[in-house]
Amino acid sequence: MTIQAVLAPLFAQVLLTFGLLLWMAQTRFTAARAGQVTPTKGSPRTFGWPEKAQKVADSYHNQLELPVFFYVLVILALITKEADLLFVAMSWAFVVSRYAHAYVHTGRNRLMTRFRCYLVGALVLLAMWAIFAIRILAS
C-alpha cells in the first residue's frame, strides 16, 4: 500500500480530534463569556459547563484515549511494512466508528448507540493489533 493510503485514515482521525478541540474551545468560550460557568479551583472539567460544552469536551477527551493505540499501530505498520489493503480497510472502519461515536456523543448521546460505536472501533482495533502481532511474531 502507498504511504498516502495508509496515512489517510490517520489524517482523518487527527482532523476529527482537532475539529472537536476547536469546537470545545468555541463552546467553552461562549459559555464563559455568557456567564454560564464560574471557574473554581481545580480542573476545568468540574466547572459546571453547559450540557453542549460538556458533551463536546467529553468527546474531545475521548479522542485522546483509544485512538492512541491506533496512532502507534499505524506508525509500527509503516516501519515494518505490514500495512496492506486489509490494514487500510480496517483503519477506515476504526476511524468511521470514531466519527460515529463523536456524532452520537455530541448529539443526543444515546448511551447504547454510543457504546456500540465504541465497541465496534475497539474490536476492530483489537483485531488490527492481533493481526499485526501475529504477522510480526510469525515472520
For 7-62, the DSSP string reads HHHHHHHHHHHHHHHHHHHHHHHHHHHTT-----SS-GGGS---HHHHHHHHHHHH
CATH number reported for the structural domain that contains residue 9 in this entry: 1.20.120.550
DSSP state of 122: H
> How far apart (Å, rounded) are the C-alpha atoms in residues 116 and 71?
22
User: How do residues 98-115 score in pLDDT, each as one tens digit?
Assistant: 999 999 999 999 999 999
Which position has the higher pLDDT, 56 or 43? Answer: 56
Q: What is the pLDDT of residue 8?
A: 98
pLDDT, mean over the chain? 95
Q: What is the pLDDT of residue 48?
A: 86
Q: What is the pLDDT of residue 39?
A: 78
> How far apart (Å, rounded) are the C-alpha atoms in residues 10 and 13?
5
Q: Is the pLDDT of residue 41 over 70?
A: no
Domain that holds residue 82: 3-38+46-138
Count of domains for the chain = 1
User: How do residues 128-139 score in pLDDT, each as one tens digit?
Assistant: 999 999 999 998
The model's pTM: 0.94
Confidence of residue 42 (pLDDT cuts 50, 70, 90): low
User: How do residues 71-100 score in pLDDT, each as one tens digit?
Assistant: 999 999 999 999 999 999 999 999 999 999
Q: Is the pLDDT of residue 46 over 80?
A: no
Q: What is the pLDDT of residue 77?
A: 98
Q: Is 12 left (phi over 0), alpha (psi -120 to 50) or beta?
A: alpha
